[in-house]
Amino acid sequence: MKRIDTPLKDCFILEPQVFEDERGYFYESFNQRTFNELCGQETHFVQDNQAKSNYGIIRGLHFQTGEYAQAKLVRVLQGKVLDVVVDLRPESPTYRQQYAIELSPENKLQLFVPRGFAHGYSVLEDDTVFFYKCDNFYQKSAEGGLYVFDEILAIDWKVSTHHAVLSDKDKVLPRLSEM
């Protein structure tokens, strides 16, 4: 497995070593020891989540606050997403900066999202299956989020606003200027 740094502090991509032959392919998608070595810290994942969505769905930008903050390791099992993260750590040199990457089964990439980041994704193909590990348990009272069409962030979700589908909860999230 190879670590590829992103422009955001502590946020990185994992690229697996894939073994292919006439039968198909094999790769190790996660190994705790290797992950901790690449991460440079002890990160223990405690919860796996999976979501299936169709084209145009935008989920996010979400985060957990306080003692319930979560780091995530995200990937796509089927379909394609544009995965987006925003650094919300005031002490970080990349505070308020964002990064986006397409994730798919074809590229087999995973994105590590550190604690203190908002995270979301837009679904670029029907029947997309998104999978992620969390290093802390979900707590409803610690939910936080940012409006995905925030003018300051100006994220290109690769989905027209005409086709975008947001949950009722995500439609009323605050903008960055309101945080």
Q: Which of 62, 99, 119, 121 is catalytic?
A: 62
**Distance of alpha carbon 73 from alpha carbon 134, whole angstroms:** 7
**Distance of alpha carbon 107 from alpha carbon 74, whole angstroms:** 13
Question: What is the DSSP secondary structure assignment for residue 165, as one 8-state letter?
Answer: B
Q: Which of 99, 121, 132, 147 is catalytic?
A: 132
Query: Any idea of the CA torsion for 154, 148, 85, 158, to the nearest 10 degrees?
Result: -70
β-strands 12-15, 128-134 pairing: unpaired
H helices within 47-129, ranges in order?
none
Q: Any catalytic annotation for residue 119?
A: no
Contact assessment for residue 14 and residue 2, using Cβ atoms and an 8 Å cutoff: yes
SS3 content of the chain, % helix, strand, coil (to 5): 10, 40, 50
Tokens found for residue 64: 């957990």
Q: Any catalytic annotation for residue 62?
A: yes
Residue with tokens 């979301």: 120
Tokens found for residue 57: 């769905």
Residues annotated as catalytic are: 62, 132
